[in-house]
Structure 1
Amino acid sequence: MKTRIINSSGSKITELGFGSAGAGNLFRPVSYEDITKAINKAHSLGIQYFDTAPHYGAGLAERRLGVALDEMLRADIFLSTKVGRVLHADKNSVKKDADCYVEASPFDREYDYTYDGIMRSFEDSLQRLGVSQVDMLLMHDIGELTHKEKHQHYLQQAIDGGFKAMAELREQGVARNIGLGVNEWQVCDQAMDYAQFDCFMVANCFTLLNNDITDYFTEKCTKNQVSLIAAAPFNSGILAKGSKGLGHYFYGEAPQDVIDKVIAIERVCEQFNVSLQAAAIQYALRYDCVKSILIGMTNKSRVAQNIAWYEEHIPEAFWLSLDGVISSR
């Protein structure tokens, strides 16, 4: 699989990454056996980038991923996790259903973007993963979309201490790259005024359906040597299932205007004999500042299918025809 280089650090990352939210039982329980087989399949087919977070199943995904990756050479793996939530044990529970995760680990999540909160979250993640360092550390879900009226409060926590903690971890060499992992690129734009980041992971907002990030922010990232990872290229499902499948959009039902846009994209795909899913995966890779596309995977067949879409040939004429349909301007 092709690799790209994170500009500021020189780290090498595969163009396709394995997202582990499903390993934390997002929406439905997934067996450890299925997740392990999916991880092994991904690695055998060339994927070296694996991402996780304490939020995914309240630590469950980190534990599962750590065990599965333990059999692989560390030098062959690019591993990222996140900070911003601290987990607290719930002595009254064995398994919990919360925040879209079912049968998750018995922990409650607490948002904490302070210096001490970041340090504790990172140390806990290292223990769950069974590693002494990570290739990338991302501050998770800071922003108005998650925190609404409390956004400024949590952003100030990060400015006052959280960003400093992450910078120190980078200086110590235990987190080679630092950045944000969010659902809105605008907070990345804000954060650049307060710290020097290596990479931003943007989910659901660098896609065929949502791409105003290209209005100026991609150019700003290129100018400042900040790399991007485009996560959730299917916008939670609708670009994987198509207009007739009615998959999720931003984790909810797709509104009619979104469905109409998908139909318009499908017409161009049919014209050039290009699959919708391949276009969704390859779209952001047309930008040099984008280093990897991160997709959630839970079984071997899905891994193989995603790689096939990633490798599908798409002619340049297709993109020229599609640009007018998907342009955010």
Structure 2
Amino acid sequence: MINRQPTSALPVRTLGKSGLEVANLCIGCAPLGDMPDTFAYSVPEERALETIRAVFSSPITFIDTAASYGDGESERRIGMVLKELGGVPAGYTLATKADRDLKTNEFSGDQMRRSVERSLKLLGLSKLPLLYLHDPEHITFEEAMAPRGPVEVLLRCQEEGLIEHLGVAGGPIDLMTRFVETDMFEVAISHNRYTLLNIEADPFWDVCQRHGVGTVNAAPYGSGILAKGPRSYPRYQYADASKIYLYNAFQFETLAWRYGVPLAAIALQFSLRDPRIHSTIVGMSRPERLEETLKLASTEIPAEVWTEIDAIRRGQ
């Protein structure tokens, strides 16, 4: 383990009952797995490596990836840089996720163990600091919780010392709520469901608070429409945006222009300003995005903007 420390500090929060101290911003490494079918662009290996090197000397000290990102490619690239650095730098927290087999769709207990073991190998680690059960909507809650099923096997991996902290990351809020209410998970990620355009996860954060579960909000830009704008990127959650999302995105963009602030700053701070959310994941595809994200997070936004956003949403 090397002793490199972050160059400057961001607000740090305790990630629920995990006890992990993490930055309020988290780097999402899905794009670095080179997933053009998902993101509509490719990330060459050398640019990904440059981005990862920059991440591990930045003040954004929380990093998130998954076994499914590029079917191991994101983890492999991160592992290459970790080998250069001699391990995860001091002060940084790296999280990954256990996934179904992307070729066969197997989502069993045995597959969870294979996923954990592959992540350890690709990342070059002996223990995963934080690992999530990922996208459990691909099976039923009952299948996930069954004896010798995914959750039981991941808990066993934790007992064996392969995983330090266990979380759950997924989409449907009703399903995610059921997992949190088991009190088996320390951290939860919701994605694309707490943005300027979609606040479906709003009650979910309250559930997490009641159960002491750390909260991580992913995709505050809705996969890009709230960063690039609806004219440049008319997509939400990796698919064509609905008419209502496009309509509201144009209203939010006009509002941003009127107040002279970037739409992306409003979208990002919508998540950062919520005290129930411990960290917000922002995807990165190139080194310069780090500094851009820090600027967006610190951009001053007039209070009137939030009042008008509420009015636009009430008019839906």
The alignment's TM-score, normalised by the length of structure 2, stands at: 0.87
Q: Which residue of 2 aligns with 1:24?
A: 33
2:149 pairs with 1:159: no
Are 1:84 and 1:112, in contact at CA under 8 Å, matched by a contact in 2?
A: no
Are 1:211 and 1:328, in contact at CA under 8 Å, matched by a contact in 2?
A: no
Q: Aligned to 2:35, what secondary structure does the other structure show?
A: coil
Q: Which residue of 1 aligns with 2:5?
A: none
Which residue among 200, 205, 215 is the counterpart of 1:228?
A: 215
Which residue among 91, 103, 106 is the counterpart of 1:76?
A: 91
Q: Which residue of 2 aligns with 1:93?
A: none
Change (3 A) 1:167 1:317: farther
Unmatched segments (≥5 aa) in structure 2 = 1-9
Q: Percent identity?
A: 28
Q: CA deviation at 1:73?
A: 4.5
Deviation sequence 1:195-214 (CA, Å, 0-9, x none): 42111111111111111211
Deviation sequence 1:242-278 (CA, Å, 0-9, x none): 1322342121222322111112222332343332101
Which residues of 2 match residues 46-195 of structure 1 at below 5 A?
46-70=59-83, 71=85, 73-86=88-101, 109-143=103-137, 147=138, 151-152=139-140, 155-160=141-146, 161-195=149-183
Q: Distance in 2 between matches of 1:199 and 1:118?
A: 18
Are 2:183 and 2:211, in contact at CA under 8 Å, matched by a contact in 1?
A: no
Q: Aligned to 1:8, what secondary structure does the other structure show?
A: coil
2:308 pairs with 1:321: yes
Deviation sequence 1:75-103 (CA, Å, 0-9, x none): 332111111323xxxxxxxxxxxxxxxxx
Q: Which residue of 2 aligns with 1:199?
A: 187
Q: Which residue of 2 aligns with 1:102?
A: none
Q: Aligned to 1:138, what secondary structure does the other structure show?
A: strand
Q: Distance in 1 between matches of 2:159 and 2:269?
A: 34
Q: Distance in 1 between matches of 2:72 and 2:315?
A: 37
Q: Which residue of 2 aligns with 1:209?
A: 197
Pairs aligned (count): 299
Which residue among 219, 232, 248 is the counterpart of 2:235?
A: 248
Which residues of 2 match residues 255-270 of structure 1 at below 5 A?
255-270=242-257
Are 2:192 and 2:198, in contact at CA under 8 Å, matched by a contact in 1?
A: yes
Q: CA deviation at 1:66?
A: 1.2
Q: Distance in 2 between matches of 1:173 and 1:324?
A: 50
Q: Aligned to 1:197, what secondary structure does the other structure show?
A: coil
Worse-matched range after superposition: 266-275 or 25-34: 266-275
Are 2:224 and 2:236, in contact at CA under 8 Å, matched by a contact in 1?
A: yes
Change (3 A) 1:75 1:236: same
Given residue 14 of structure 1, which amino acid in structure 2 is its aligned partner?
Answer: A
